[in-house]
Copies of this chain bind each other. A is one copy, B any other.
Amino acid sequence: MSYTLFLEHLRKNVRLAPEEETQLLSKLQERHIAKKEFLYKEGDIHTGQAFVLSGCLRSYSVDASGIEHILQFAPPGWWIADINSLKNQIPSSLQIDAIENSSLLFLSRTHMEALYASIPMLERFFRLLLENSLITYQKRLLDNLSLSARERYENFCKLYPGLIMELPQKQVAAYIGVTPEFLSKMLNQPRNK
């Protein structure tokens, strides 16, 4: 399959020597994962992170009452993993599965560490990605503290404009933090304010 999406993503953030790019690409392992299949389950210790080429993955946790809460959607061009499990090698509290048939590039933790040593510029690359993620999560947290369900829904539409079309409503509900029933009610009574 084509690595162009990955290369674009890489070059948007950082400039590597051609042989470094080649070295990096050689460590990426292509994988396919069918709709509803798991990449990792709760309790697994993550062995690497995934860059999505096509399809869509999600990471979520299941609370004490069995309700799913979605932490992240990963459409093409996004990374997904439980960094806490990956970094500290502890059992994950998240599940990661595919919501469509998907293909991805998998980068293992061991390759990752070797690459950090041989291509220092990768430290910067991932630092930049982490900065962006952090900004996103901080904004989302403040939104959850200060906005109504309807406003959070509207923000979601802006953040994932393509996704809103093809995503079952209940997934959106599990992301913005309401029940599917409430979301349905909300969307069908369009009176504002």
Q: Which residues of A contact B (CB under 8 A)?
A: 61, 63-64, 67, 69, 71, 83-84, 87, 116, 120, 123-124, 126-127, 130-131, 133-135, 137-142, 144-147, 177
Contact = CB atoms under 8 A, between A and B. Distances in A.
Contact of A138 (B67, B84, B127): B84
Q: Describe A's contact surface by its main secondary structure.
A: helix
A61 B142 CA distance: 8
Tally of this chain's copies: 2
Contact of A141 (B87, B126, B135, B137): B137
Nearest to A123: B123
A141 B139 CA distance: 10
Contacts of A139: 84
B67 A146 contact: yes
A134 B133 contact: yes
Contact of A87 (B64, B126, B135, B140): B135
B87 A145 contact: no
Nearest to A144: B144
Contacts of A141: 71, 137, 140-141, 144
Closest 3 CB pairs of A and B: A123-B123, A130-B130, A63-B146
A12 B144 CA distance: 33
